[in-house]
Structure formats: C-alpha cells, structure tokens
Amino acid sequence: MTRTPPPPYTPRPLLIDDLLDGLLEQPLVRTGTPAAFDVAAALRRLSTDAATAPARPGDNDLDRATKATARLNAVCRAAITTPAAALHIERISDSPPTPPDKNSPHPEAPPDVEGLFIYGCLLHLADHPESAKFWWQIAAGSEHGVAAHCLHLHHLTLGEIRDAAHWAHQLTEADKDAVHRLLTAPLIPATPTSGLEMAIERIAETGDDDVIVGQPDRALAHHLRQLTHP
C-alpha cells in the first residue's frame, strides 16, 4: 500500500500577536538586565522563531480570535489605568479632533492622540466596538502604534485576517516595545467602573450619531480619574 506523502510545510504568516506571546513568556525587561541589552535584536529573533516554528494543534481561527480578544482586553485595561489617562480624556473633551484643512493658512493644532487611543479603549471595554475602532483609526492615522495594534487585534477577533495584517504591518519595533511595556504594567483592573460605563452610555444616548459614540466630556474624565487615582 502506497502512502501519500505529506504536503510540504509552508510557514504560516507572522502576526503581531504571535510575537507578543513570545515577549510575554520571555519578558525583555528583568531585574538585573544589562543596560546594553539589544531589544531590537531580541525582537527580531522572536519574530524569526515565530515565523519558522511548526503550527501548533490549537492554532486555528477560533483559537486565534480567543487569544486576540484576551490580548485586546488586557491592552485596553492597562491603557485606561495609566496615571495621565484622565488628563488625556479631558484634553480631547475640550478640543475635539477635526479633519485637517490643507488649504487653511492656520492649520488646526493636532489632537491629543493618546487621548483618542485611550477613549477607544474605554469604548471597547464598555462594549462599543465600532466606536472604539473609529477612535483608534483616528489615533493610528496620527501614527499611534498601540492604537494600530488594537485595530490589528480587533480585526483578528472578527476573523478579518487581511485587515488585521494591514495594521500589523504598520507597527515599528518601537511600537511593539510600547505594547509590551503596557501589557506588563502592574495595575490592570477587571472592568471599567459602573460610573465610567454610565458616563459612556449617557454620551452614546445624547449624541447625534446612532452608530458611533461621539466626543467624550469632562464627566467621563472625572470618573476615569476616580479609577486611576482612588
């Protein structure tokens, strides 16, 4: 009886969540790490290992989406507990982002891009995924790498591999390091407080758009400050 030979192994495409899985299992920053430690070289080694390693039995679409959901939640929970999170939300509540006018002799000042990213994280945790994607896209368009990573994970959770790969390709080594630092931050709450959720729902109900939750306000910044400065 002649056995059919197995098909040749084709390396699966590297996605940024594969790289960060390796980073979390083998953190780059440890007590006693020499100052000359080459972070970029370590990232390249992890990238190569992930690209050439055989696919694991659990590497299917559902498993990938589940991991992406957990990672996205972790990133968002870490982002909203940074010490300056409330200040960033306050800034974009006072100065909403406006599309740039190339013909204007006095262009608008750039928005607080970090605030746009954090607001997207708040909306994601409050179960407004389309609104979160909208605000992350504005932040990513201003070269906010962690917002681009959130978009990558968002599309992975929906099984939208092409869109996920697009955002993964936008990331630099510095962006990947920023995601790693955020994920290894010591304070990550389980969920937003009820006050935050109520503030977001109030904004959603009073806005003009039936789909996208609009600009935050100072009340939301106040509730977020209570979370980050108990």
**pLDDT-above-70 percentage for the chain:** 62
Into how many domains does the chain fold? 1
CA separation for the pair 156, 165 (Å, rounded): 9
pLDDT tens for 152-182 read: 999 999 999 999 999 999 999 999 999 999 8
Residue 170, domain member (yes or no): yes
Residue 220 binned pLDDT confidence (cut-offs 50, 70, 90): very high
Residues 6+ apart with CB under 8 A from 121: 75, 76, 77, 79, 80, 132, 150
Q: Is residue 189 predicted with pLDDT exceeding 70? A: no
CA distances from 36 to 29, 39, 43, 61 (A): 12, 9, 15, 39
Residue 139 lies in a domain: yes
Tens digits of residue pLDDT in 124-157: 999 999 999 999 999 999 999 999 999 999 999 9
pLDDT score for 187: 59
Please give the pLDDT value at position 230: 62
Per-residue pLDDT of 43-102, as tens digits, reads 444 444 433 334 344 457 788 899 999 999 999 999 998 889 999 999 998 775 554 444
Assess if residue 20 is contained within a domain. no
Can you tell me the distance from the alpha carbon of 203 to that of 129, in angstroms, rounded to the nearest whole number? Answer: 15
**Confidence (pLDDT) at 59:** 53
pLDDT at 45: 47
Examine residue 13 and state whether it is found in any structural domain, yes or no. no
Percentage of the chain modeled with pLDDT above 90: 41
Range of the domain at 152: 59-97+110-228
Please report the DSSP string for the chain in residue order.
-PPPPPPPP-PPPP-HHHHHHHHHHS-S--TT--TT--HHHHHHHHHHHHHHSPPPTT-SHHHHHHHHHHHHHHHHHHHTTSTTHHHHHHHHHHS------TT-SSPPPPP-HHHHHHHHHHHHHTT-HHHHHHHHHHHHHTT-HHHHHHHHHHHHHTT-HHHHHHHHTT--HHHHHHHHHHHT-S---SS--HHHHHHHHHHHHHSS-SSS-----HHHHHHHHHHH--
Q: pLDDT band for 204, please (50, 70, 90 cuts).
A: confident
As a whole number, mean pLDDT of residues 186-212 equals 75
Classify residue 120: in a domain, yes or no.
yes
